[in-house]
Chain A
Amino acid sequence: MKKGIFYGIILALFVVFSVNLKIDPSDFFAGIPNLAELFADSFPPDTSMLTIGAIAILETLQIAFIGTILGTILALPLATLSARNLFSKRFIVPARAVLAMLRTLPSLLWAVIFVIMVGTGPFAGVLAVMMYTVGYLGKLQYEAIEGISNEPLEAISSTGANKLQIIRFAALPEAANNLLSQLLFMFEYNVRSSTILGFVGAGGIGFYLGSYLRFLEYDKVLMLLLITFVAVIIIDYLSILIRDRYLAKTLR
């Protein structure tokens, strides 16, 4: 009965919300020749873009890496203050509010703000990735810390250890596997989202992608997309390797 109401509401919302979106399958099918034209235009990919593209994707990876690391370092103290099994409401409420606020904007919008603040270039990108990482990873981190079992926390606090020592000797080591695996996940995610930061001037391959799209030079765009594709696959593969090699082993 309750379930029926729930599905009914979803269905009603679906109908109401789709009305003004001009959803029209015939448009979709009529557009297929456009796509064919686009492909024809972009083949063959312009290999002269290889060097520029490689340098630019490297900058994207740098932005993602530095932003992720800085974000992680800032997220961890906030996540610790947000964990119910470590702190009282007095700390949890403000710490979680900060994390939630940082999470409201996607990194692309953070990039817009930082380009205005520090000017165009990769530094704005690093700051944008960092901000979003703090908000998003911080949430994952406090959930990981809250997920550890109570016994080690009780045992270490029973030795008379202070709060910092309890965090260092119980909370963090017990959550370490999850924290590390989330860090990898966040890095992969940031690599992807960093590829478009250049659209708004925040560095990396997105700058070229955006420019050549505007100039309709699709053969160059395709080359840049291929480079991005390869880089993302390599990062994902490395990430799997790290997971298998270092994380699987320490699992209990």
Chain B
Amino acid sequence: MKNAIELTNVSAGYNGEYIIKEVSCSIPEGTIAVVIGPSGAGKTSLVKLMNGLLLPKRGSLSILGEKSRKNKQLNIKKNIGYIPQHLGLIQSMTALENVLAGSLARVGTWQSLLKIFPGKEKALASKLLSMVGLQAKKNKRVLELSGGEKRRVAIARAFMQKPKILLADEMLSDLDIILVQQITKQLQKLRDKFGTTIVMVEHDLKIAKSIGDQIMILREGKNKGVFPKSAITDKLLNKAFAQVQQ
């Protein structure tokens, strides 16, 4: 199976300080990888490496077949959906407009500057908002939505990109259990139907285990072990995680 994402001894960070230290990992196309680790471990930074928001200082990485080395920007963003940990929604725009932003790379620049989107993009955006249970609130401005509702808008925006890779940074936080089940089901559908590769950062071990094809444990910027689904047992995970949490 081809790898959608491949990191080889990648180090990266901010202001000359390394946060990610010699991380290697490979994520095959059409699989779901879950990254777990204590806060401050560098999970968000690792995800940003995978869509070019953070550039590697050492080592090399290959995303969707494009290779990058030191400080080289790849032209891959449009194929990678990203749900930032803090969402990055535009507060003064409506839920629908925020979701439509996911199609910006597909629509003409001048129309988009006037917020004119093709009918089929608008239809898709509405459909995605229904999928996350927000059809009734699609014309509400984001600043009027609750925390969980905002998160769902960001999820819909990432889906709107029709991404080959989906990067989700703690996207299931502050969602109730029914929504978590619904959204994980959608993720699995995305993988099975379109072969989307998914990288999730999660805190909840149970969710990680139920959805991940592989689980990677990150601690202090280092890869502390990758567990394939077949190898994952509760005991093993609990032990690894307990060790990491100290």
- Interface set of A (CB-CB < 8 Å, partner B): 151-162, 164-165, 168-170, 173-174, 176-177, 250, 252
For the complex, what is the distance from the CA of A138 to the CA of B143, rounded to whole Å?
28
Give the one of B53, B79, B84, B104 with max A CB within 10 A.
B104
**How many Å from the CB of A200 to the closest CB on chain B?**
40
- Do A159 and B105 contact each other (CB < 8 Å), given the known contacts A164-B113, A168-B112? yes
Given contacts A154-B53, A169-B90, A250-B92, 19 further A-B contacts (CB under 8 A): A151-B86, A155-B82, A155-B89, A156-B88, A156-B104, A157-B53, A157-B77, A159-B105, A160-B79, A160-B104, A160-B161, A161-B101, A161-B104, A164-B109, A164-B113, A165-B104, A165-B112, A173-B90, A250-B143
B71 at the interface (CB under 8 A from A): no
Q: Are A158 and B104 in contact (CB under 8 A)?
A: no
B residues 87-129 near A (Cβ < 8 Å) are 87-93, 101-105, 109, 112-113
For the complex, what is the distance from the CA of A107 to the CA of B143, rounded to whole Å?
40
B78 at the interface (CB under 8 A from A): yes
For the complex, what is the distance from the CA of A156 to the CA of B78, rounded to whole Å?
10
Q: Are B80 and A158 in contact (CB under 8 A)?
A: yes
Q: Are A174 and B90 in contact (CB under 8 A)?
A: yes
**How many Å from the CB of B153 to the closest CB on chain A?**
11
Enumerate chain B residues within 8 angstroms of A162, measured Cβ to Cβ.
104-105, 109
Q: Are B53 and A158 in contact (CB under 8 A)?
A: yes
Enumerate chain B residues within 8 angstroms of A250, measured Cβ to Cβ.
92, 143
For the complex, what is the distance from the CA of A83 to the CA of B146, rounded to whole Å?
31
Closest to A156 in B: B101
Enumerate chain B residues within 8 angstroms of A159, measured Cβ to Cβ.
77-78, 82, 101-105, 157, 161
Q: Are A155 and B87 in contact (CB under 8 A)?
A: yes
- Interface set of B (CB-CB < 8 Å, partner A): 48, 51, 53, 77-80, 82, 84, 86-93, 101-105, 109, 112-113, 143, 154, 157, 161
Enumerate chain A residues within 8 angstroms of B78, measured Cβ to Cβ.
159-160
Q: Are A152 and B89 in contact (CB under 8 A)?
A: yes
- Cβ contacts A to B, 21 pairs, < 8 Å: A152-B89, A153-B88, A154-B48, A154-B53, A154-B82, A155-B87, A156-B88, A159-B103, A159-B105, A160-B79, A162-B104, A162-B109, A164-B113, A165-B104, A165-B112, A169-B93, A173-B92, A173-B93, A174-B90, A176-B92, A252-B143
**How many Å from the CB of B49 to the closest CB on chain A?**
13
Enumerate chain A residues within 8 angstroms of B48, measured Cβ to Cβ.
154
**How many Å from the CB of B165 to the closest CB on chain A?**
11
Enumerate chain B residues within 8 angstroms of A158, measured Cβ to Cβ.
51, 53, 77, 80, 82, 84
The 4 nearest A-B residue pairs measured at CB: A160-B78, A155-B88, A160-B105, A151-B88
**How many Å from the CB of A145 to the closest CB on chain B?**
14
Contact of A160 among B77, B90, B113, B157 (CB under 8 A): B77
Enumerate chain A residues within 8 angstroms of B102, measured Cβ to Cβ.
159
Enumerate chain A residues within 8 angstroms of B105, measured Cβ to Cβ.
159-162
Q: Are A168 and B113 in contact (CB under 8 A)?
A: yes
For the complex, what is the distance from the CA of A165 to the CA of B143, rounded to whole Å?
21
For the complex, what is the distance from the CA of A153 to the CA of B53, rounded to whole Å?
11
**How many Å from the CB of B65 to the closest CB on chain A?**
17
Closest to B79 in A: A160
Enumerate chain B residues within 8 angstroms of A154, measured Cβ to Cβ.
48, 53, 82, 84, 88
For the complex, what is the distance from the CA of A153 to the CA of B101, rounded to whole Å?
12
For the complex, what is the distance from the CA of A164 to the CA of B104, rounded to whole Å?
11
Q: Are B92 and A155 in contact (CB under 8 A)?
A: no
Contact of B90 among A152, A164, A177 (CB under 8 A): A152
For the complex, what is the distance from the CA of A156 to the CA of B102, rounded to whole Å?
8
Enumerate chain A residues within 8 angstroms of B101, measured Cβ to Cβ.
156, 159, 161, 169
Enumerate chain A residues within 8 angstroms of B154, measured Cβ to Cβ.
155
Give the one of A159, A162, A250 with max B CB within 10 A.
A159
Closest to A152 in B: B88
**How many Å from the CB of A181 to the closest CB on chain B?**
14
Q: Are B90 and A151 in contact (CB under 8 A)?
A: no
**How many Å from the CB of B111 to the closest CB on chain A?**
11
Q: Are B89 and A165 in contact (CB under 8 A)?
A: no
For the complex, what is the distance from the CA of A170 to the CA of B157, rounded to whole Å?
14
For the complex, what is the distance from the CA of A176 to the CA of B143, rounded to whole Å?
14
Give the one of B79, B82, B90 with max A CB within 10 A.
B90
Q: Are A151 and B77 in contact (CB under 8 A)?
A: no
